[in-house]
Amino acid sequence: MRVNQWYNKLHRLWRQPRFTLIGLGLLAVCLMFVMTSSRLSSNLMRSTLPNSKKFYEDKVTLRFVVPNGEAAQWQSLIDEFETIHPNLDIDLVNLRDQNAIKPQDPRAVKQQYIDSFTSEIPPYDLVFMDIIWVPEFAEKGWIRELDMKITDPELKEFLSDDINGGIYQEKLYRMPVRSDIGWLYYRTDLLKDAGLKPPETFEELIDISQKLQAQGLRWGYLWQGRQAEALVTVFVEVLRGYGGFWIDLKTLDVGLDRPEAIAAVQFLRNTMFSQNPISPTTLTTYREDETLNLFLDGNAAFLRNWSYVLPKANLDDSDIRNKIGVKPMVHASGYTSGGCQGGWGLGIAEKTQHPKEAWEAVKFFTSEAAQRKLFLASGDGLPTRRKLFKDSQLVKRYSHYPAILDLLKKQKSDPVVSRPAIPQYAEATCTLQKYLHTALTQKENPDIKGKMQTAARETKLLLKTNSMLNEKDCSSNNPIHQGQLFR
C-alpha cells in the first residue's frame, strides 16, 4: 500500500469521535509529564547552585541613600545582611555605579529623601536621617512609627539621648546607628609644660589661652563660626554654659532675647574682638574641617569640635599624636556645661511596600554586631550602644571610648544639649543662624541685644503659626546650601 493511501486511511480513523478523545488524552498526559520534569529540574538547580538565593521568587529589595563619604563603610554590612536574609537585597544607591546618586553632604541627602517622599513611586524604603530631621519627617507623615514601644527594655542598651532623638510625640521613629557629641579638645603637652590644668569656666579658658599665646602660640581657642548649623551647635553649648535655653519644648517659650543668650553671644564675640583675642576673626567663615586642620597643625591650644577629632589627631603621621585631651565644654561659674547632641539613625519610609522587611533591616544595622563592624571600619562619631564603649576590639583601636562613657555618666546634670525637637526646626535654625552670625561679624556697633530680640520675636511667630519650611526655602545666603556638615 502506498504512503498516500496509508495517510488517507489514518486520517479517516482520527476523525472518528472515539479516536479524537484518545488523542486528546494522550496529549494531556504528555504535557503534564513535561511540566513536572521542568519543575523538578528547576528545584534541583535551586538546591545545587551555590548562589541559590537569586532564585527566590519573592525576593525584596530595600533602598536607601547615605552621605557619599561613608557609603563604602556600609558594603560589608550589606553583604552580611544579604547572606543572613537570602530573600532580601539592600540597594544602597551610592554604590550602584558611576552614575549613581552620590550626595556629598547631609543637606543633599535630606533633599533626596524629601523628593522621594513626595513622589508617586518612592524610591526609598529605609531612611538614614540626622537626629534633627525626625520631628519634621514624623509630623509630615513621611516616616512610620517603628514596631517597638519606647518602653521596650532593648532600648536601654542604647545611649538615652540617642533614643530620645528618635522619639516624637511619644512614638519611636528612628533607631540610632551613630552618635556624636560636641567636645572641648586641648593640648595636654602645652598645658603640662606651662603648669596649667584644663579649664572649667569661660574665664579660665580665656586666661589659659592668653598665657599660652604670650609664650608664642598662635591661637588659644578655635570654634566654628560660619553661618551654618555648626555655628548653632557651638552656640547652644555656650548658651547652656550660661544657664540659658533656645526653645522650651514644654511651654514653647523662646530664650534668645534673655540675658543668658546675650552673654553667650558676647563671649563668642570677645574671643575675636577683645584687646587680647584668643580666636581669629576668620572663624566666622570656618567649618569643622577647617578648624580641625588648624588644630592638627599645632596652631591652637583648644578646639571645639565633634567626636571624630581624637582618632584623626592620633594618626601615625600626626604632629600632635598622643598630645590631646578631651573634656566637656566649659561654662560660667555656678552652671554646668553640655555637648551638643548629634548623630544619625535609621527609620522606615511611610510609603514603603515592605515595612516588615524594612524593620528587619533596621534591627540588623543597629545591632551590637553591626555597630562594632561599622566602627572598626571608621572612627567618625561614636557608637550608640553602651557596651561598645568598653568592647575590647573597639577600645584597642579607640582607647578614649571608656573615658567618653565615664564623662557621660559622671556629670551631675545632663551632659548633652539637644537642639529643639520641633517640626519647624529647619526654619528655626535659619532664623538663629542669620541674626547670630550678623551679631558676630559686625565689628562696630553690633547691637547684640537688638539682633537677638529680633531672632526671638521671629522664632515665637514661627512657633505660633506652625510654619514649616525645607532647607531649600531658607535664604540663599544661608550656608545650609553651602555643604555644611550636620551632626
Instruction: Assign 3-class secondary structure to 416-435.
Output: EECCCCCCCHHHHHHHHHHH
* Amino acid 42: pLDDT: 42
Instruction: Write out pLDDT tens, residues 171-199.
Output: 999 999 999 999 999 999 999 999 999 99
Whether residue 211 contacts residue 205, with contact meaning beta carbons closer than 8 Å, is answered with no
The CA–CA distances, whole Å, from 66 to 98, 129, 236 equal 16, 8, 26
Neighbours of 199 (CB within 10 A): 22
* Amino acid 468: pLDDT: 58
Neighbours of 156 (CB within 10 A): 10
Q: Where in the chain do CATH 3.40.190.10 domains reside?
A: 60-180+342-413, 181-341+417-481
Q: How far apart are CA 184 and CA 305, in angstroms?
A: 7
* Amino acid 73: pLDDT: 94
The torsion angles phi and psi of 184, rounded to 5 degrees, stand at: -105, 115
* Closest listed residue to residue 223, CA positions, set 281, 316, 305: 305
DSSP summary character for residue 176? E
Neighbours of 364 (CB within 10 A): 19
Whether residue 384 contacts residue 366, with contact meaning beta carbons closer than 8 Å, is answered with yes
| Alpha helices (H) in 413-487, listed in sequence order | 425-441, 448-465
Contacts of residue 315, Cβ cutoff 8 Å, sequence gap at least 6: 321
Architecture of domain 60-180+342-413: 3-Layer(aba) Sandwich (3.40)
Q: In this structure, is the dihedral angle defined by the CA atoms of residues 95, 101, 107 and 111, taken in order, positive or negative?
A: negative
| HSE value, Cβ hemisphere, 13 Å, CA-based, for 117 | 20
Whether residue 431 contacts residue 459, with contact meaning beta carbons closer than 8 Å, is answered with yes
Query: Which regions in the chain score pLDDT beneath 70?
Result: 1-57, 411-413, 467-487
The CATH number fitting domain 181-341+417-481, selected from 3.40.50.300, 3.40.190.10, 3.30.479.30, 3.30.1120.130:
3.40.190.10
- % of the chain exceeding 70 in pLDDT: 83
Strand segments, DSSP code E, in 131-255 are 167-168, 171-172, 175-181, 183-187, 219-222
Cell of residue 342, nine digits:
548629634
Q: In this structure, is the dihedral angle defined by the CA atoms of residues 354, 356, 358 and 361, taken in order, positive or negative?
A: negative
Cell of residue 265, nine digits:
553671644
Neighbours of 26 (CB within 10 A): 10
